Amino acid sequence: MALAAAVTLAGCHEARGGGYIGQVVPQTINPVYNGRADFGFTFQCDDGVKGQITYHDASTSASLGAVVYPDLRIHGTVENVLIDDDNDPDTKAVPADTCEQVTESRWAQFEGSYRSQDPTLLTKPAGRFVVVVFDQGEPGVGDPVITGDGFSIELTGGPYLAYTRAGYIEGGNIQVDN
């Protein structure tokens, strides 16, 4: 969904989109991730690839010292977009300079800084995020192993010292403006 929808970015000035990943494993095995996590992004394509991302996981409680926060909510600034189209793990990803490069790739990694959107954590220092999205084609078309496009996020530093979550994209919408 993420990169398949990103194919429409060529020649655009802005793209907006979002979606969600759901529970990957049964709740009895992994009770921490027992619900969906929503994400949204915007990319401006006039002068290179720049963007922002939001992410909200209401099923995760974050613990900072003795205080437990009921969910995780961030806003991030994309500082670097890496792409890799050959699906060969021995080939390094390269920085994307244009939207056209992103649209031709089946895999992209967005990196940047984030801040918590919890009002009580706004004074905490920024952390880093890495988001990976990949396009596996349409589920059930030709390959029974393909179950959909994927999304993963890793947070380090900042208010959420170590957080990782990944899953298949279960729903979303992309809007492109020329």
The string of pLDDT tens digits covering residues 81-140 is 888 776 666 778 888 777 667 666 777 788 999 999 989 888 999 999 999 887 665 554
Q: What is the DSSP string of 55-86?
A: EEETT--EEETTEEES-EEEEEEEEEEEE--S
**Nearest-angstrom CA–CA distance, 6 and 131:** 15
pTM of the model: 0.77
Predicted confidence at residue 129, as pLDDT, reads 96
> For 15-72, what is each residue's pLDDT tens digit?
667 888 886 544 444 445 567 899 998 877 766 678 899 999 987 766 666 656 678 8
Q: List the structure tokens of 67.
A: 């205080």
CA proximity to 13, closest of 50, 39, 52: 50
Other CB atoms within 10 Å distance of the CB of residue 29: 8
Residue 141 has pLDDT above 60, yes or no: no
